[in-house]
Structure 1
Amino acid sequence: MAQQVSGVVARGKGRPVGIETIVVPDPGPGEAVVRVQACGVCHTDLHYREGGITDDFPFLLGHEAAGVVESVGEGVTEVAPGDFVVLNWRAVCGQCRACRRGRPWYCFATHNAARKMTLADGTELTAALGIGAFAEKTLVAAGQCTKVDPAASPAAAGLLGCGVMAGLGAALNTGSVGRGDSVAVIGCGGVGNAAVLGARLAGAARIIAVDVDERKLATARQLGATHTVDARAGDPVAAVRELTGGFGADVVIEAVGRPETYEQAFYARDLAGTVVLVGVPTPEMRLELPLLDVFSRGGALKSSWYGDCLPSRDFPMLIDLYLQGRLDLDAFVSETIPLTDVEEAFGRMTRGEVLRSVVEF
């Protein structure tokens, strides 16, 4: 039987979001209804509100979430009612060319729930990243539910659903940071500071955090940066080189998503080093680099999609590290807020006052 819950809806480009009644249908085959316990406020939600992803308004926002499975549809075996899960937007299909090649973290056909949640008047909603978790309950594909240890804090665990996983994975998966490596991270918001934490977890010897905001650099030091660079004070490329014996870093992670900072990352790496782009650019941005420099410097230029994560593999492992005290996910929870405060949280996020505001239900 369909249920009515409260959720945060964006009805038009640039318009403030509001709380509305959401109709959540019973799960169909391969689907699950999840009672949401916590959901982070991510830049991606703001991009949806601003029409920067699609124009399929109205949107049911929210996607960095954890909660408890309430019911499942026909054929669901991977999760059951009562399971504590982190929601993800990479429900791998198992059939596409990436999956068949044994690389499901690149799955090209990830899937969402077939049934639609609606407004009370029947208007179909577009769920952010196929999740829509700024709501008391949400309908997702069962493959979007990753079972983890229920001892974890929902507010911290849910952040693996997007930004924190993107940063951790940029270091651990895409960048393949190894013991003794030097790493520079350009841009130390939530994703960049997660990359700092990932580099520390991987055993990097030197972790250089670069930003223009001293508050973010202070957090980077807390999470494991051995050195920080204020990019307002001089050339960050020269600073990274000076801190790495004149050579540049083995891995440079660009977590801003702008041509200027990508160029800095390109020249701040050592010969045969790796650049990882995890910051999300906008469609109009263009990059110009001398092709001879691309050739002569060697190494690898990579883009990191969702930290190249495989939720079924990575989420349980990272939650175990969190519960062991080896992965400080709590550091990313700047504040917990009620559902009614999402619009104000967008403002604090834009001003750089928080790593993550987290809605708790």
Structure 2
Amino acid sequence: MSTVAKAYFLNVAAQPLVPRDLVLSDPGPAEVLIKVSACGLCHTDLGYADGSVAPNHPLPLVLGHEITGVVVNAGEHYTHLDNKPVLVPSVIPCLTCEFCCSGRGNACPNQKMPGNDIHGGFATHMLCPAGALIPLDAAPPGFDLCALSVTADAVSTAYQAIKRSNLLAGDVAFVVGSGGVGGFVIQIANALGAHVVACDVDNDRLGFMKTFGAHHTVLVRDRQPKEVRKELHGIAKDLRVASLKFRIFECSGTPSGQTLAFTLLAKGATLVQVGYTPKPIEIRLSNLMAFDATVHGSWGCPPELYPEILQLIYGGKIQITPFIEHAKLSEINQHLDDMAHHRLARRLVLNPDS
């Protein structure tokens, strides 16, 4: 028996999303039907909506990839998930390929991303592969499961980046861009015992992050990268931390942020590129040779890391509530406009009206 969902479709790039019915068939053996509780609004959604980034799925498409909900119909191989609250990873791997079997499921060539490869969570219901779903029934009593939707991307992407860097207690974490994903990188690095130095163009944001793990804050607006480099390396010197233990996280997704992050490299240091921009920058790649430095890309998060992330959240090491605001899915077009014009102070978690 099919289910009729109310969904918000991107029919044409740079045009408002359109509400209409979406008929969903019964789940296959390895699928589940989810009643969406919440879906976070991400800059990636804005990129698809305004046409600056093309999704893999042809339009029309339901966007949204930070999803929590309740399984209301499970395929025959996943009946144990029936009626359970779940988190849908923003990167759903196939779980069988060489990448997945090597612990690199986030780079799975067969991955499905809601709101990019398949219809996403800006809807009352969604149909998705079941193998990588993260059960949330172990959450502490009274925990806001809707808030956990941002774990699917903003928090998990931050955690994967930290893992990719091999950050250890006592290292220095230079975080370029302290909003969004960067804010969670700061929290996680602090929870793991690093010295955290936050960089941003927004002084209010830096002040906010002092409460959530930033030990040092550096305003970089209208400053030259080499000037900032001198200050940040000076902080590390005062801490008596060698550059071998520098972990640099570029989270701004801006050309200026990427230029700064690369400028911060030093002997033996590690840079993880987390943010995205389609705009190119000019760098001297030979610096990697000269410094014997390492640069990693980081995309998504493999499902096996989610239990670790949830334990940090449930234990209060990662705070979500101060960073989000609940809003109505029915006002999605206004929310996208607010995001485009930088009017949002917090990450929005959208709840279906019905």
How does the TM-score come out when normalised to structure 1?
0.87
The answer for the alignment partner of 1:345 in structure 2 is 335
Q: CA deviation at 1:241?
A: 1.7
Please tell me the residue identity of whatever aligns with 1:30. A
The answer for the alignment partner of 1:90 in structure 2 is 91
- Once the two structures are superposed, residues 271-312 of structure 1 have per-residue CA deviations (whole angstroms, 9 ceiling, x without a partner) of 101000000121xx3343334322111121010111xx222x
Is this contact kept in 1: 2:172–2:246, CA < 8 A? yes
Is this contact kept in 1: 2:32–2:127, CA < 8 A? yes
Is this contact kept in 2: 1:181–1:250, CA < 8 A? yes
The answer for the alignment partner of 1:252 in structure 2 is 248
Please tell me the residue identity of whatever aligns with 1:225. A
The answer for the alignment partner of 2:198 in structure 1 is 209
Q: How far, CA to CA, are the matches of 1:80 and 1:303 in structure 2? A: 33
Please tell me the residue identity of whatever aligns with 1:22. L
Please tell me the residue identity of whatever aligns with 2:232. V
- Equivalence map 1:1-361=2 (5 Å): 1-51=1-51, 52-54=53-55, 56-76=58-78, 79-111=80-112, 127-148=115-136, 149-151=138-140, 152-171=143-162, 173-204=163-194, 206-232=195-221, 234=223, 235-245=227-237, 250-282=246-278, 285-306=279-300, 309-311=301-303, 313-333=304-324, 335-350=325-340, 351=342, 353-361=344-352
- Once the two structures are superposed, residues 125-169 of structure 1 have per-residue CA deviations (whole angstroms, 9 ceiling, x without a partner) of x94453511111111111242112244422221111112211232
Please tell me the residue identity of whatever aligns with 1:216. R
Is this contact kept in 1: 2:103–2:302, CA < 8 A? no
SS of equivalent residue, structure 2 residue 72: strand
- Once the two structures are superposed, residues 245-284 of structure 1 have per-residue CA deviations (whole angstroms, 9 ceiling, x without a partner) of 28767011001233432221122133101000000121xx
Q: How far, CA to CA, are the matches of 1:290 and 1:90 in structure 2? A: 32
Number of residue pairs matched by the alignment? 339
Q: How far, CA to CA, are the matches of 1:315 and 1:230 in structure 2? A: 32
- Once the two structures are superposed, residues 215-239 of structure 1 have per-residue CA deviations (whole angstroms, 9 ceiling, x without a partner) of 3212321220011111125332232
Please tell me the residue identity of whatever aligns with 1:136. T
Structure 2 CA distance for partners of 1:259 and 1:138, relative to 1, 3 Å: same
Is this contact kept in 1: 2:37–2:351, CA < 8 A? yes
Please tell me the residue identity of whatever aligns with 1:142. A
How does the TM-score come out when normalised to structure 2?
0.88
Please tell me the residue identity of whatever aligns with 1:164. V
Q: How far, CA to CA, are the matches of 1:216 and 1:185 in structure 2? A: 13
Query: What 5-or-longer segments of structure 1 have no aligned partner?
Result: 113-125
Aligned-residue RMSD, C-alpha: 2.2
Is this contact kept in 2: 1:188–1:209, CA < 8 A? yes
